[in-house]
Amino acid sequence: MRIVDLIEKKREKEELTKDEIHFLLNEYLKGNVPDYQMSAFLMAVYFNDMTKSELFEFTSLMRDSGDVIKFEKINKFLVDKHSTGGVGDKVTVVLAPILAALGFGTAKLSGKGLGHTGGTIDKFEAIEGFRFSNTSDELVKIARKTGIGLMGYSDKIVPLDKKLYSLRDVTATVPSIPLIASSIMSKKLAIQSDVIILDVKVGDGAFMKDINHAKELAKRMIEIGVGAARKVKVVLSNMDEPLGYSIGNANEIIESIETLKGNGAKDVKEVVYTIAALALKAKGEIKELEEGYKKIDEVVNSGLALSKLKEFINESGGNGNLVNDYSILPAAKEKLEIFSKNNGYVAKIKTEEIGKAAMIIGAGRAKKEDKIDHSVGIKIFKKVGDKVEKGEKLAEIYYNDEKNVKNSKEMILDAYVLETKKIKEQKVVLEIIE
């Protein structure tokens, strides 16, 4: 078998066999396929897609390139929730304690933020002393105790994804539905769970800019999951404005805690409640999602969910008292207020722009190696549909270093698109696919 023939086959839109896919990926993993050949193959996939069976084989092999984590002796229904990435996306921080309070276990790999999107690891690492499990033994120990099993990606889990993603990043092949689907699902299949719930973000701040592409991505991921005999549910959620009001790391932890105290933003709550209700339904505890909302309200209102977060922070090396004392979290030294230059209604918030405005003051990374400042961030005061008067506050920037603050301010002002007519409030959960 020759790699060049496999590239040619994909170029000519012919279906590769299981053996051919195995050969390509195994040889690549061993270092026997040069990056220029793999790049050509990825570009052929970008243009010509993969068939259902190609995609399943490709994803299964990616999973098998590393360890598979089993949560032995955890007698809980395990939920693996995954977001395709957004701005202000603090859903995991709120959801995992709620699921724990409802008797579930969360079992998931979390990522770091890159580009305009944030990552759960960075948010928790804003807590002094907090350390993510980096071995599966440690993960299982904490998950057994708290019901929350979050682990950072390691080189041992789906190493092939790391290699392929780096190559995609520099060959303009990231935004390919089959490549995104296999990248995400290989990591989902590498973790034992009872249900996989995918939060596919749609809109300006997301990978998938429109609902049709998002639906296609969801369909391909469900097909892979079903092929592997896994239960997969999808929530398509809006990323045409940041989720909630805070964008950053320490400030998103505070917003998450406030949500667990019942004071959260409507959109954050809606996404979290929908996913938690889907978990209850997958477990067979409820028939309709609405029945779940009452149960979720109970664990929030009783403070049980918040106590689960506190326990998880304590077990992970942080000081859980921060749930009632935000001064334990790092805070930026300076604040810049941004005021509207016009009257109107917020018609649109260019969400990617807001994510980048947070990134350039240090809340995120332009490149994987960049260091971030957990204390800095942005708070927005107006969401889509809100009325704004000239001179009214649109946002605040929290920063330590003057550099880029002016740019960040300009980007935020540019991101707010005002119109004279009132715009309907945005729907957050756009669709649920079960």
Q: Residues in the site for ligand URA, rule: CB under 6 A?
A: 84-85, 180, 183-184
Q: Please indicate whether residue 374 is annotated as part of the active site.
A: no
Nearer to ligand URA, 99 or 184 (CB): 184
Q: Please indicate whether residue 267 is annotated as part of the active site.
A: no
Q: Which two tokens stand for residue 144?
A: 């057994």
Q: How far is the CB of 337 from ligand URA (least distance, A)?
A: 34
Q: How far is the CB of 358 from ligand URA (least distance, A)?
A: 19
Q: Which two tokens stand for residue 288?
A: 């309709």
Nearer to ligand URA, 85 or 362 (CB): 85
Q: How far is the CB of 187 from ligand URA (least distance, A)?
A: 6
Nearer to ligand URA, 84 or 238 (CB): 84
Q: How far is the CB of 85 from ligand URA (least distance, A)?
A: 6
Choice among 63, 108, 168, 269 that is catalytic: 168
Q: Please indicate whether residue 187 is annotated as part of the active site.
A: yes
Residue 293 vs residues 168, 194, 277, 426: alpha-carbon distances, Å: 40, 21, 7, 21
Q: Radius of gyration of the chain from Cα atoms? A: 22
Choice among 10, 82, 163, 201 that is catalytic: 82
Q: Which residue has the tokens 């041992």?
A: 156
d(CA 181, CA 327): 41
Choice among 110, 133, 183, 246 that is catalytic: 183
Q: How far is the CB of 395 from ligand URA (least distance, A)?
A: 27
Among 413, 115, 123, which residue's Cα sits nearest to residue 244? 123
The residue at minimum Cβ distance from ligand URA is: 183
Choice among 112, 187, 269, 379 that is catalytic: 187
Q: Please indicate whether residue 240 is annotated as part of the active site.
A: no
Residue-wise over 4-33: b if at least 16 C-beta within 10 A, else e? eebbebbeeeeebeeebbbbbbebbbeeeb
Query: Taking a C-beta distance cutoff of 8 angstroms, is the pair 179, 46 a contact?
Result: yes
Choice among 122, 161, 240, 267 that is catalytic: 161
Residue 289 vs residues 89, 202, 226, 307, 380: alpha-carbon distances, Å: 22, 22, 22, 25, 30
Nearer to ligand URA, 84 or 259 (CB): 84
Nearer to ligand URA, 167 or 394 (CB): 167
Q: Which residue spans within 278-400 are E strands per DSSP? A: 334-339, 344-349, 377-380, 387-388, 393-399
Q: Please indicate whether residue 246 is annotated as part of the active site.
A: no
Count of H helices and E strands in the chain? Answer: 16, 13
Measured from the Cβ of residue 203, the count of other Cβ atoms closer than 10 Å reads 23
Nearer to ligand URA, 180 or 250 (CB): 180
The length of the chain is 434
Q: How far is the CB of 61 from ligand URA (least distance, A)?
A: 16
Query: Which positions are catalytic?
Result: 82, 161, 168, 183, 187
